[in-house]
Structure 1
């Protein structure tokens, strides 16, 4: 199949690309083709303009692009950049799909569990949950999803949790403090972290490609979410380090401003649709997940 990927140099895209390359023809949309070739190798075709793609020849579009949400403090300008990098591009992709005579069979488009906004950890959130807290993360994901749903084809929306990988992502940002025994919970620590192993993330995308009947929102999270306190103690245990240091909410807000909400609040997300379809998570539990990832990192 001919597959177009946006965001292929990101955490998920780069790992997914490795699984697709040997069996499919992969084209990557990127602002910097030279970076894509350096990251992914020269067997791909990298382009910087959607107009260079004939969507009549594309079977599947996997749309994972977007300005990193936690790299910079959220000024109004940065929030606009985050929003436009997702919503505007997705609208453009949907328009290209709709204009094709022989349309792609599937659009898999990124979203996040931020769609639900901050929620009480006692509430188990499945895909049909609609009592969302109206904040920036919800507005962003809502409009991102609506842009994808404009495409006149099968659309799957990936409401992705915290992706754990041994090279990049949230875990890499946490490790330095925890390795030095300076890690610990954030704020009260009772906020729920809905997470997923990078391998399961890739495998569920492959599963969606093969499952012609699945469409709409998909909770891309492990079935076993944990609180931030549990995550911190488990990571410290795996590293054989203490986790005595608690980051006060006031300090986080001073450092990060509004963006601190992403760390201080959470949601208890459950992958009802995937489990109902028979998808089996290879890494459903946190402690063996961290042991496996950290063993790979030190190997």
Structure 2
């Protein structure tokens, strides 16, 4: 297949490109500027070039959009604007690009977020659950998904991504650090639910969604077994051979991170019902298996 990726230089994107190259696919990286690639099989095309000429993407089988300003920063008014606009701007460019292509892709896979469900310690959410626009991040996700829905005549998959666990990016290195320093423990009450996914399953499910024509609309990109923060910490302590004894009060995170603390202090139990219904098999369905792999020297 011929696959174009926007946001391919980020944590998930780098793993996804590696996966597609291993599967012998042709990969085109869409970027703001030319990026030197370690693999000569990856071609880079800039957004500026595509404004004038879409020829390099004619006949592409799939477009994957992972682009967007990182949410892992203090949510000042300026940061919120960058987080939202970076997503809307890129989606707008993709909608325009698809509209102008003569030979359109069979699918566009667009990153989204599970924040759209709101938070709860007791409820379970799947793709049929209603939206709950209760905070900045949920509002951002709703606008993000509404923007990609402007694409017509092409299958669209909206990946509601959980906390992606890998050693070379994302939240996991920071989550593991206190345990490596022997000061790990629950955060706040420890009852908040973490809906997570191993990076290997993340890239595999993107490939799966591209290949399966029956999958469209929202898809929860999470493992089938969410855990509480306390359960996660205990499993991580066991995997590293470290104690799980030092709780961190919620007010400390509020002081340090402001609104961003909601990502650590509140959660939701999100189930990947669509993927399970279509027969996707997770390599890392449980947190114990995922953390064992990540802490035993694996490349991911």
SS at match of 1:74: coil
The residue that corresponds to 1:126 in the other structure is 126
Q: 2:222: which partner in 1?
A: 221
Partner of 1:10: 10
Q: Which residue of 1 aligns with 2:254?
A: 253
CA deviation vs aligned residue, 1:17-75 (integer Å, no higher than 9, x gap) = 112125222111223433x52xx5333111232425434332210000111111x2111
Which 4+ stretches in 1 moved above 4 angstroms? none
Question: For the residues of structure 1 that align with 2:160 and 2:190, how far apart are their CA atoms?
Answer: 23
Partners of 1:282 and 1:101 in 2: CA distance: 38
Per the alignment, residue 212 of structure 2 pairs with 211
Aligned partner of 1:264 in structure 2 is 265
- The residue number in structure 2 matching 1:142 is 142
Q: Is the 8 A contact 1:110 1:158 kept in 2?
A: yes
Residue 101 of structure 1: CA displacement? 2.6
Q: Aligned partners of 2:148, 2:33: CA distance in 1, in Å?
A: 24
Q: TM-score, normalised by structure 2?
A: 0.93
User: Aligned partners of 2:208 and 2:161: how far apart in 1?
Assistant: 15
- The aligned counterpart of 1:276 is 277
| Residue 81 to residue 19, structure 1, CA distance change in 2 (3 Å) | same
Structure 2 vs 1, CA of residues 113 and 7 (structure 1 numbering), >3 Å: closer, same or farther?
same
Note the C-alpha offset of 1:255.
0.5
Aligned-CA RMSD value: 1.7
User: What secondary structure sits across from 2:58 in the alignment?
Assistant: helix
Q: Does the 8 Å CA contact 1:127/1:219 hold for their aligned counterparts?
A: yes
Does residue 46 of the first structure (1) align with residue 44 of the second (2)?
A: yes
For the pair 1:154 / 2:125, whether they are aligned, the reply is no
What secondary structure, in the 3-state scheme, does the structure 1 residue paired with 2:223 have? coil
Pick the aligned partner of 1:64 from 63, 66, 70: 66
Inter-partner Cα distance in structure 2 for 1:169 and 1:182: 21
Shift of 1:133: 4.1
Which segments of 5 or more consecutive residues in structure 1 lack a partner in the other structure? none
How far residue 297 of structure 1 moved from its aligned partner, in angstroms, is: 4.5
**CA offsets 1:113-141 (integer angstroms, 9 cap, x no match):** 112122x2221101011051421111111
Task: Assess if the C-alpha contact under 8 Å between 1:117 and 1:137 holds in 2.
Answer: no
Report if the CA contact (8 A) 1:166-1:296 is conserved: no
Contact 2:54–2:100 (Cα < 8 Å) also in 1? no
Match of 2:243 in 1: 242
Shift of residue 289 of structure 1? 1.0
Give structure 2 stretches of 5+ with no counterpart: none
User: C-alpha displacement at 1:87, in angstroms?
Assistant: 1.5
- 1:296 is paired with a residue whose SS is coil
Q: What is the correspondence of 1:71-220 to structure 2 with a 5 Å cutoff? A: 72-118=73-119, 120-152=120-152, 153-220=154-221
Cα separation, 1, equivalents of 2:212 and 2:166: 25
What secondary structure is seen at the aligned counterpart in 2 of 1:61?
strand
Q: Determine helix, strand or coil for the equivalent of 2:29.
A: strand
**1:166 shift after superposition:** 2.3
Structure 1, residues 227-285: CA drift from partner, whole Å, max 9, x if none?
00110111011111112211111111110011111111000000111111111111101
Match of 2:267, SS state, is: coil
TM-score by length of 1: 0.93
